[in-house]
Structure 1
Amino acid sequence: MADSSSSRANLEAILRWCLRKQDEEESTGTTPMDRERQEWLKGALEAMCSAPSETDLMKAALAVLQSHHIPPPGSDIGEDTKNAMLKAFDEVLYFIEDLDHAKDLMKLGGVAVMMSYFNHPNRDLCAKACEVMGTSAQNEEYCQQACQPAIPQLVQLCMSCDDELVKVKSLYAISCIVREFPPGLEVFMENKGMELLLHCLVCEYEKVIIKALFLLRSISNKTVSSYITDDIIRQVVHITMTPPYDDINIRRHSTFCLLSLVRAVPYKFSSHRARLLETLQDRQQSLTDSNHEDELEACWKIVDLFSK
């Protein structure tokens, strides 16, 4: 998918070259291409030139999403309409896997369209809009900047919505916009970012907890140290010592997150140090013969930092 636009351009160039070569052969007396093959090439080139580009197809999908007005809360949009809109979202998601198309989406006003679905009563459509926002912003500073105005609304959506999928996708979108993008991170911090992370860390959904731990780990550094609260520290310590649902992934992510926090704000762990050391030393023994070498290494690093 990443090279589809260039592949299309290359194919069109090859077809043009073949036809141009045919004209040269006829003018020089060289045995020309047979008529049937020549007509096939001309037909292929005409089809290539007349077929809609991927940007055109994405515009069409965006137009579908723009054409449907947001219904009042509690109303039913109908199954056919919902399926058409989900298909349009999937079309957009397919195209923006290509970074060039992700930028095109921003230029076409895609951010405003996606934001209009944040309050949609159908939670599946709301989650899709968040997914589009996150996928387009991932690893692309231009798109992160374009999506930055959506951060306050994404925070509010994740805080207020009880739907698990919406929480996961909105947190995913926030993570993609703010990671390794300081302006976006600043907006997140100024719009109750840490309050949101604490809200997610104490929620009932495993996937949301893991997303929150991952994001907290990614942004925990000296720059945001003043925003890291004692409540955040206590909750990460609690999750590390007693992972909810006995979930290995939560345990692993909490260990990595804890390492980032200890590095960023070591002075906030004085009252937790003794209990954490005991837990981590026990975990080191249990991990010694496991395949989780990265987690074992993180445990060693935390213990080493506590020893200094």
Structure 2
Amino acid sequence: MERLIFTAVLMVVLIANFATSEVAAGGAVVVGSSNPKEGDKLAMVQEEEDMDGGFSSLDGMLQWAIGHSDPGVLKERSEVAQRMSPEELNKRQTELKELLEKLKMPSDAQLMLIAVNDLDNSSLPLEHHLRALEELLVLVEHIDNAIDLQKLGGFSVLIRILNHSEPEIRTAAAWILGKANQNNPLVQKQVLELGALKLLMKMMKSDTTEEAVKALFAISALIRNNMNGQNLFYQEAGDTMLQEVLSNSNLDIRLHKKSLFLIADLAESQLENENTAEISFFSNRLLLKAIVDSMASSDLDLKEKVCDVNGH
């Protein structure tokens, strides 16, 4: 929708600055109906078409652009165009084509590639890297984009900067990985093979709360419904990590909630895959005690999550 609106606005500018071949032939530019009511209806129809999912054709977009432009300006421009020579008009048309070519909106893949290249360029300032991460955070919402990001070498770059010296960069990278891995087995496999899990678990010890929260979010997304990821999580002492989080009352409540949410997921997954789980998640008595102790919290949402774990 934003691209269509942008293009329509562009059309208004171009119509006001460049003459068409029809005008050169002596034709008139119709900027509206002689009947105000009919003109209002046309505008309403065009707006309804826009609301329903965009313009049905390029002609419809042009009509919308003309209808929302200044009739006086269009009339003045058309009169100027009629006085132009064929050579001048051809030159204007060539300029118009070149301008439209330059203003083509890049695809999501192109935008991701630009962002990845910026992240991979250590000579760029921190602001450029943060801007690139913000763009990727939006783009990976779409599952196809998340898959394409691997083809562009994006995950390798993101995982590498999990070791970045700036917490803000590490936090954003973890957040993107978490979003990209949600309900996406193919991406989970790729990211696990690149060694992201161990780095994310290391980030859980960060002094920055937001970094730890986003790291735990990414861990949960990476191993959810993924037995290979869960077995690797156990091998890296993931149960101990969660037990330490729940046992530390000084940590942000979000970490406690996300830990219990992950525990509930792991418990459900083990019940469904008893023969494939290599390690029993609830063999850690300290973790079990930490879960039970969480019931003493005054946070109702936290208690509800404890009950979800106990329900398994």
Alignment of 1:49-64 (within 5 A): 50-64=104-118
Q: How does 1:101-180 map to 2 (within 5 A)?
A: 101-148=145-192, 149-158=195-204, 160-180=205-225
Aligned equivalents of 2:176, 2:242: Cα separation in 1: 21
SS in 2 for 1:117: helix
Deviation per residue, 1:38-75 (Å, 9 max, x gap):
x8xx9599549943212111110111111026xxxxxx
Partner of 1:215: 262
Distance 2:105 2:247 in 1: 51
TM-superposed CA distance for 1:156, in Å, is: 2.1
- Code of the aligned partner of 2:202: Q
Pairwise CA RMSD: 3.4
Unaligned runs of 5+ in 2: 4-52, 62-92
- Tell whether the 8 Å contact from 1:89 to 1:129 is kept in structure 2 after alignment: yes
Deviation digits for residues 241-297 of structure 1 (CA, Å, limit 9, x no counterpart):
x11xx212211111112222xxxxxxxxxxxxxxxxxxxxxxxxxxxxxxxxxxxxx
Matched, 1:254 2:298: no
* In structure 2, distance between residues paired with 1:118 and 1:60: 19
Larger radius of gyration: 2
In structure 2, the residue matched to 1:194 is 239
Q: How many angstroms does 1:12 deviate by?
A: 12
Partner in structure 1 of residue 292 of structure 2: 237
Distance across 2 between alignment mates of 1:114 and 1:13: 40
With over 3 angstroms needed to count, the CA separation of the structure-2 counterparts of 1:186 and 1:239, relative to structure 1, is: same
- In 2, Cα distance between the equivalents of 1:54 and 1:48? 17
- CA spacing shift, 1:13–1:111, aligned 2, 3 Å: farther
Q: How many equivalent pairs are there?
A: 223
Amino acid at match of 1:170: A
TM-score (structure 2 length as normaliser): 0.63
On the 8 A contact 1:178/1:184 being kept in 2, the answer is yes
TM-score between the two structures when normalised by the length of structure 1 = 0.64
Task: Please list the CA deviations of residues 108-130 of structure 1 after superposition, one character each: whole Å capped at 9, or x if unmatched.
Answer: 12222111222222111111010
| Identity rate, percent | 24
4+ residue runs of structure 1 moved beyond 3 angstroms? Answer: 10-16, 42-51, 222-225
Contact 1:115 1:150 in 2 (8 A): yes
Seen in structure 2, the aligned counterparts of structure 1 residues 238 and 54 have a Cα distance that, compared at 3 Å, is same
